[in-house]
Amino acid sequence: MWKVWYCRTHGYYRDEERKCEKCIEIMDERSAVRLGKLLSGILRHFPERFGVRMSLEGWVNMDYLARALSRKLRWVRKRHIIALVNSDEKGRYEIRKNMIRARYGHSVNV
């Protein structure tokens, strides 16, 4: 099973093992998959179910999103969202300052 890791040298990445002694585990595969599915659902399909306000371009405030996600996944914090996005090889999401959006796959109008 892979994990999401972070360190100053290697940044965020997904792998089974850490690359150096300074790399810290952010979350395991199961947690990352659960968070990813919920994040995708909120940003692409059902923001209103979680009370998340989305701009016309699909941007959502990360602090509000983290609070909304933590209602379903109590352990989620903003750092988990950042780790998931920055370790995502498919580039599904985009972060600018304190805002996040899905890059594609919307069923809501953006």
Q: What residues make up the domain containing 78?
A: 29-102
Asked, for residue 77, whether it belongs to a domain, the answer is: yes
pTM for this structure?
Answer: 0.92
CB 92, CB 40: distance < 8 Å = yes
CATH of the domain at 67: 1.10.10.970
85-99 burial, b at 16+ Cβ within 10 Å, e below that, comes to bebbeeebbeeeeeb
pLDDT at residue 45, as a whole number: 95
Asked, for residue 41, whether it belongs to a domain, the answer is: yes
Return the percentage of the chain with pLDDT > 90, whole number. Answer: 94
Q: Which two tokens stand for residue 19?
A: 């690359």
CB neighbour list of residue 106: distance below 8 Å, 6 or more residues apart = 44, 45, 58
Indicate the number of domains in the chain: 1
CB 85, CB 93: distance < 8 Å = yes
Arithmetic mean of pLDDT, 47-52? 94
29 CB-side CA count, 13 A: 6
Asked, for residue 57, whether it belongs to a domain, the answer is: yes
pLDDT-based confidence at 110, cuts 50/70/90? confident
